[in-house]
Amino acid sequence: MTAQRFIYTTDGGPRTASALKEKLELLQAEIGKLEALVVGRQTEFQAAAERNQAERLMADLLRMTADLMSARDTAARLEDELTTLRSWRSERPWWWRMLAG
């Protein structure tokens, strides 16, 4: 047996400590790459979530703007109708107003 200590793998073949150390370093490098990938994906996910939230807020804003415009149109129409009714009322004689209420 040499100065290197043998460690046996699952298939029964011997593996030296230096080979295991190399494999461990390779796996640690892969872990580092995966951690960097996870950080990148988290950043992408957060940006997508912010975009989705911004899109929802924009949709709400557009819906509220449409509701506001509809309410303004309705208010203007009702104001016109009220003005018309007031003008009809002043044009009728007093006795017609008493009959109509």
Average pLDDT, integer, range 73-82: 94
Q: What is the pLDDT of residue 72?
A: 95
Sorted by where each begins, the domain ranges of the chain are: 6-88
* Contact assessment for residue 9 and residue 15, using Cβ atoms and an 8 Å cutoff: yes
At 2, is the pLDDT very low, low, confident or very high (cuts 50, 70, 90)?
very low
Q: Give the predicted TM-score (pTM) of the model.
A: 0.50
Name the residue among 1, 32, 3 with its Cα closest to residue 18. Answer: 3
Q: What is the pLDDT of residues 19-76, one digit of tens each?
A: 888 889 999 999 999 999 999 999 999 999 999 999 999 999 999 999 999 999 999 9
Q: What is the pLDDT of residues 42-52, one digit of tens each?
A: 999 999 999 99
C-alpha angle 13/31/23, rounded to 5°? 20
